[in-house]
Amino acid sequence: MQRRKFLKRGSLVTLAAALGTEIVFGKNIIKGYQILGLQDPDPFKLFKKDPQMVVLNDKPWNMEAQAHLLDDKVTPNKFMFIRNNGKIPPNINIANWKIIFDGESIKTKKTYTLEELKSKFKQHTYQLTLECGGNGRSEFDPPAKGNQWTVGAVACAEWTGVRLRDVLEDIGYKQDAVYIGYHAADTHLSGDPGKEPISRGVPMAKALQDETLLAFKMNGEDIPLAHGYPLRLIAGGWPASASGKWLNGISIRNKVHDGTKMTGTAYRVPCETVAPGEKVKDEDMCIIESMPVKSLITYPKSGAVLNNKKNLTIRGHAWAGELQVKSMEYSIDFGSTWQKCTLEVPKNRLAWQHFSAEISFPKKGYYEVWARAMDSNNRKQPMILPGWNPKGYLNNACHRIAVKVS
Ligand SMILES: Nc1nc2c(c(=O)[nH]1)N[C@H]1C(S)=C(S)[C@@H](COP(=O)(O)O)O[C@H]1N2
Ligand SMILES: [Mo]
């Protein structure tokens, strides 16, 4: 008779952390058993999210914030969007967690444990903006398939980890290296273990930037399970799909990484503008790199009513992919005239910037406040939907809120 395998201690500790309490008779749990408490259909409890977050899909989990929930300077977990392409890996045991470095352009294949990464390399902390390439998709017409993100698939948390560059230099790579591709522990929705739900990457130049991290902490704590516990690649300012969660492998490639969701219409847009709905040839599609300039009014919530006062201080954040935001303005007359906002410098490169403005409304009535950012290359956000593309990426149109002065 085969001996029954029981859950290892490390897995129990992880499960207990996810449940928020000890599993009293945990030592009796057989390996592979699905804990009922973690099949909790309440994603807000499961992922410790604020109940005002909006679930867009439960298979896989996709959840976004509303603009006013993103008011914090540094986004806390409870307001952070979740974008999963597959199933969250079960039973993570950090004691056994390894990351394998391989690929055509590596000198010798190398594996590190999480402990080795943490002890061998200097640790760095940065605030880094992560925005899903599909944020704003819901506005495209003809509509684009996929999660119908409105404005809330963006966040700027504080990430701590080691520089990917330091690790790559420790390993050694060949002159012909052009790209890195990530591999992760999440599983394909089909259940097919041979299929990766997503395996994207970035060119070497991005991989070697100071701010590109192999991160193990978010906002000073272990990364929450939904956001990539225990290890995550972070490439701020690029579509967040480049920031692989549950990271267990990096391939150093001698060509553009060709993993799942690197080709076809996935995270690619027509290299030249096309008419809405037009069919685009594969060779005319380009991989999204730095995200475009964008901003969000996070206070007040749209629909605010001012009683017996005509002044209002608005605030929010602006970001511009690899670039810095140079100026920020608002309009209360449907874009006819624009006034300057106060704009803070970023905490570090690739962090979003905070803005505010004191608005004086001329009289009682209905207004819309529109906000528009300009990047360091003098590019401004469009007021209406920018270039249509098959999957509805890169909508950086101005954010607007309604205000009633009564
Ligand atoms: N392993 C893995 N990494 C992943 C994904 C995923 O499904 N699996 N989704 C990507 C996409 S498309 C986005 S937008 C971000 C979302 O990060 P978040 O869920 O932490 O907000 O993670 C990226 N990294
Ligand atoms: Mo994404």
The binding-site residues of ligand 1, defined as CB within 6 angstroms of any ligand atom, are 80-86, 130, 132, 184, 186, 197-198, 227, 240-241, 243-246
The residue type found at 346 is: P
Cα(171)–Cα(55) distance, rounded to whole angstroms? Answer: 41
pLDDT of residue 40: 66
Query: What spacing in Å lies between the alpha carbon of 109 and ligand 2's midpoint?
Result: 29
pLDDT of residue 3: 66
DSSP state string for 349-378: TT--EEEEEEEE-SSSEEEEEEEEEEETTS
Q: Is the dihedral of CA 277, 282, 283, 289 positive or negative?
A: positive
Query: What spacing in Å lies between the alpha carbon of 226 and ligand 1's midpoint?
Result: 9
Cα(147)–Cα(253) distance, rounded to whole angstroms? Answer: 30
Cα(147)–Cα(56) distance, rounded to whole angstroms? Answer: 6
Of the residues 245, 247, 260, 267, which should be mutated to test ligand 1's pocket, given the most ligand atoms within 8 Å of the CB?
245
pLDDT of residue 267: 96
How buried is residue 20: exposed, middle or buried, by Cβ count under 10 Å (0-12/13-18/19+)?
Answer: exposed
Tens-level pLDDT at each residue, the chain (406 residues): 456 788 888 888 888 888 889 999 998 998 888 888 877 678 998 899 999 999 999 999 999 999 999 999 999 999 999 999 999 998 899 999 999 999 999 999 999 999 999 999 999 999 999 999 999 999 998 889 999 999 999 999 999 999 999 999 999 999 999 999 999 999 999 989 899 999 999 999 999 999 999 999 999 999 999 999 999 999 999 999 999 999 999 999 999 999 999 999 999 999 999 998 889 999 999 999 999 999 999 999 999 999 989 999 999 999 999 999 999 999 999 999 999 999 999 999 999 999 999 999 999 999 999 999 999 999 999 998 888 899 999 999 999 999 999 9
Burial 296-311 (b: 16+ CB within 10 A, else e): bbbbbeeebebeeeee
Residue with tokens 């010798």: 108
Run of H or E residues at 298 = strand 294-299
- Local structure of residue 212 (DSSP, 8 states): -
Run of H or E residues at 118 = helix 114-120
Atom of ligand 1 nearest to the CA of 86: 7
Cβ neighbours of 26 (radius 10 Å): 16
Of the residues 135, 241, 246, 262, which should be mutated to test ligand 1's pocket, given the most ligand atoms within 8 Å of the CB?
241
Token representation of residue 386:
């920018």
